Amino acid sequence: MIGTTLIEAFQEAFGLIISGDPEVFSIVGRSLSISGLATLLACIWGIPLAVLIGLYSFRGKKLVRSIFNALLGIPTVGLGLILYLLWSRSGPFGFLGLLYSPLGIAIGQSILITPILVSFASSTLGNVDSEVKDLAKTLGASKFQTSFVILRESFWEILLAITASFNRAFAELGVAMMIGGNIRYVTRMLTTSIALETARGDIPFSIALGIILMIIILSITLLINYFRKE
CATH architecture, domain defined by 26-189: Orthogonal Bundle (1.10)
> Do 157 and 58 contact (CB within 8 A), yes or no?
no
CB 132 within 8 A of CB 153: yes
Taking only the tens place, the pLDDT of each residue in 159-187 is 999 999 999 999 999 999 999 999 999 99
* pLDDT reading at 2 higher than 50: no
Q: What pTM value is reported for the model?
A: 0.90
Coil vs helix vs strand at 228: helix
5-19, 59-73, 191-205 — which is least confidently predicted?
Answer: 5-19
29 or 127, greater pLDDT:
29
State mean pLDDT over 132-158. 70
Helix 102-126 and helix 61-70, axial crossing angle in degrees, nearest 10: 130
- Distances in Å between the Cα of 66 and the Cα atoms of 57, 60, 61, 118 are 15, 10, 9, 11
What are 18-23's contacts with CB under 8 Å, separation 24+? 21/208
Spatial CA neighbour of 111 closest among 71, 51, 167: 71
DSSP letter (8 states) at residue 185: T
> Residue 93's CB: how many other CB atoms inside 10 A?
13
What is the rounded end-to-end Cα distance, in angstroms, of the chain? 48
Mean pLDDT of the chain: 88
Give the contacts of 140 (CB within 8 A, at least 6 positions apart): none
147 band by pLDDT with thresholds 50, 70 and 90: confident
Burial of residue 45 (number of CB atoms within 10 Å: 0-12, 13-18, 19+) = middle
Please give the backbone phi and psi of residue 201, each rounded to the nearest 5 degrees, phi first: 95, 10
